[in-house]
Protein backbone atom coordinates (compact mmCIF):
# COMPACT_ATOMS: atom_id res chain seq x y z
CA UNK A 1 0.00 0.00 0.00
CA UNK A 2 1.22 3.47 -0.79
CA UNK A 3 2.00 5.62 2.20
CA UNK A 4 2.49 9.34 2.45
CA UNK A 5 3.95 11.59 -0.22
CA UNK A 6 7.47 12.10 1.15
CA UNK A 7 9.06 14.23 -1.54
CA UNK A 8 8.62 16.40 -4.60
CA UNK A 9 11.25 18.00 -6.80
CA UNK A 10 11.63 19.83 -10.08
CA UNK A 11 14.64 20.66 -12.21
CA UNK A 12 16.43 20.04 -15.47
CA UNK A 13 18.14 17.30 -17.38
CA UNK A 14 21.73 18.58 -17.57
CA UNK A 15 23.28 16.09 -19.96
CA UNK A 16 22.93 13.09 -22.25
CA UNK A 17 25.46 10.53 -23.39
CA UNK A 18 24.89 7.64 -25.79
CA UNK A 19 26.43 4.38 -24.57
CA UNK A 20 27.20 1.07 -26.24
CA UNK A 21 24.26 -1.23 -25.69
CA UNK A 22 24.75 -4.80 -24.56
CA UNK A 23 21.14 -5.65 -25.33
CA UNK A 24 18.78 -5.15 -28.22
CA UNK A 25 18.12 -1.41 -28.01
CA UNK A 26 19.78 1.94 -27.76
CA UNK A 27 21.19 2.98 -24.37
CA UNK A 28 21.35 6.59 -23.16
CA UNK A 29 22.81 8.00 -19.96
CA UNK A 30 20.88 10.93 -18.49
CA UNK A 31 22.11 13.32 -15.77
CA UNK A 32 19.76 15.65 -13.91
CA UNK A 33 19.69 18.19 -11.10
CA UNK A 34 16.52 18.93 -9.16
CA UNK A 35 15.47 20.68 -5.97
CA UNK A 36 12.43 20.54 -3.77
CA UNK A 37 11.33 19.18 -0.41
CA UNK A 38 12.04 15.72 1.01
CA UNK A 39 10.41 14.79 4.32
CA UNK A 40 9.69 18.50 4.75
CA UNK A 41 13.32 19.59 4.22
CA UNK A 42 14.60 21.59 1.24
CA UNK A 43 17.12 19.64 -0.81
CA UNK A 44 19.08 19.32 -4.05
CA UNK A 45 19.17 15.97 -5.87
CA UNK A 46 21.95 15.07 -8.32
CA UNK A 47 21.45 11.87 -10.27
CA UNK A 48 22.43 9.84 -13.30
CA UNK A 49 20.54 6.96 -14.85
CA UNK A 50 20.80 4.83 -17.95
CA UNK A 51 17.79 4.03 -20.04
CA UNK A 52 17.65 1.27 -22.64
CA UNK A 53 14.89 0.61 -25.15
CA UNK A 54 13.37 -2.85 -24.81
CA UNK A 55 11.16 -4.94 -27.11
CA UNK A 56 7.62 -3.63 -27.01
CA UNK A 57 8.66 0.02 -27.10
CA UNK A 58 9.29 0.64 -23.41
CA UNK A 59 12.48 1.70 -21.66
CA UNK A 60 14.17 0.11 -18.65
CA UNK A 61 16.21 2.48 -16.54
CA UNK A 62 18.45 2.28 -13.50
CA UNK A 63 20.50 4.89 -11.74
CA UNK A 64 21.98 6.40 -8.64
CA UNK A 65 22.42 9.76 -7.02
CA UNK A 66 22.70 11.83 -3.90
CA UNK A 67 20.32 14.14 -2.09
CA UNK A 68 21.91 17.00 -0.16
CA UNK A 69 20.20 19.37 2.28
CA UNK A 70 21.23 22.89 3.22
CA UNK A 71 21.82 21.58 6.76
CA UNK A 72 24.55 19.24 5.47
CA UNK A 73 22.64 15.94 5.42
CA UNK A 74 23.27 13.57 2.51
CA UNK A 75 21.21 10.62 1.33
CA UNK A 76 22.46 8.18 -1.33
CA UNK A 77 19.96 6.46 -3.58
CA UNK A 78 19.70 3.74 -6.21
CA UNK A 79 16.63 3.05 -8.30
CA UNK A 80 15.05 1.28 -11.24
CA UNK A 81 12.00 1.85 -13.36
CA UNK A 82 10.27 1.56 -16.68
CA UNK A 83 9.20 4.35 -18.96
CA UNK A 84 7.72 5.38 -22.26
CA UNK A 85 8.15 8.29 -24.65
CA UNK A 86 5.42 10.94 -24.39
CA UNK A 87 3.59 12.44 -27.33
CA UNK A 88 5.19 15.82 -28.00
CA UNK A 89 8.52 14.87 -26.39
CA UNK A 90 9.88 13.82 -23.05
CA UNK A 91 9.46 10.63 -21.06
CA UNK A 92 7.31 9.24 -18.28
CA UNK A 93 8.92 6.80 -15.79
CA UNK A 94 7.56 4.79 -12.85
CA UNK A 95 9.67 2.74 -10.47
CA UNK A 96 11.20 2.23 -7.05
CA UNK A 97 14.13 3.82 -5.25
CA UNK A 98 16.09 2.81 -2.14
CA UNK A 99 17.99 5.13 0.18
CA UNK A 100 20.96 4.93 2.52
CA UNK A 101 22.02 7.63 4.96
CA UNK A 102 23.99 8.16 8.17
CA UNK A 103 21.77 11.16 8.99
CA UNK A 104 19.60 10.64 12.07
CA UNK A 105 17.05 13.06 10.62
CA UNK A 106 16.47 10.80 7.61
CA UNK A 107 17.23 7.41 9.22
CA UNK A 108 13.68 6.16 8.58
CA UNK A 109 14.63 5.90 4.89
CA UNK A 110 17.23 3.19 5.52
CA UNK A 111 15.61 -0.06 4.41
CA UNK A 112 12.47 1.64 3.10
CA UNK A 113 11.03 1.08 -0.36
CA UNK A 114 9.89 4.26 -2.09
CA UNK A 115 7.99 4.45 -5.38
CA UNK A 116 8.18 7.38 -7.75
CA UNK A 117 6.66 9.09 -10.78
CA UNK A 118 9.23 10.91 -12.92
CA UNK A 119 8.25 13.10 -15.87
CA UNK A 120 10.36 15.00 -18.38
CA UNK A 121 9.14 17.28 -21.15
CA UNK A 122 10.48 18.22 -24.57
CA UNK A 123 12.49 21.12 -23.04
CA UNK A 124 14.31 18.80 -20.57
CA UNK A 125 12.37 20.03 -17.53
CA UNK A 126 11.74 17.24 -15.05
CA UNK A 127 9.51 16.66 -12.03
CA UNK A 128 9.42 13.73 -9.61
CA UNK A 129 7.12 12.71 -6.75
CA UNK A 130 7.99 10.05 -4.13
CA UNK A 131 5.73 7.93 -1.91
CA UNK A 132 6.80 5.58 0.85
CA UNK A 133 5.66 2.03 0.07
CA UNK A 134 4.27 0.53 3.26
Contact 121, 90 (CB under 8 A): yes
Spatial distance between the Cα atoms of 10 and 25, rounded to a whole number of angstroms: 29
Q: Residue range 49-58: average pLDDT? A: 91
Q: Report the CATH architecture of 2-133.
A: Beta Barrel (2.40)
Contact 90, 122 (CB under 8 A): yes
Burial-class residue 106 by CB neighbours within 10 Å (0-12, 13-18, 19+). Answer: buried
pLDDT bracket for residue 57 (50, 70, 90)? confident
pTM: 0.92
pLDDT bracket for residue 3 (50, 70, 90)? confident
Boundaries of every domain in the chain: 2-133
pLDDT bracket for residue 6 (50, 70, 90)? very high
Residue 2: predicted pLDDT? 81
Amino acid sequence: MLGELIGEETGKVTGYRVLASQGQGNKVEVTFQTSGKFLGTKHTDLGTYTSEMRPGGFFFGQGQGIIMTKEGDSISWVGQGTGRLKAGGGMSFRGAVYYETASQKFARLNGAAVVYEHETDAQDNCATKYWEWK
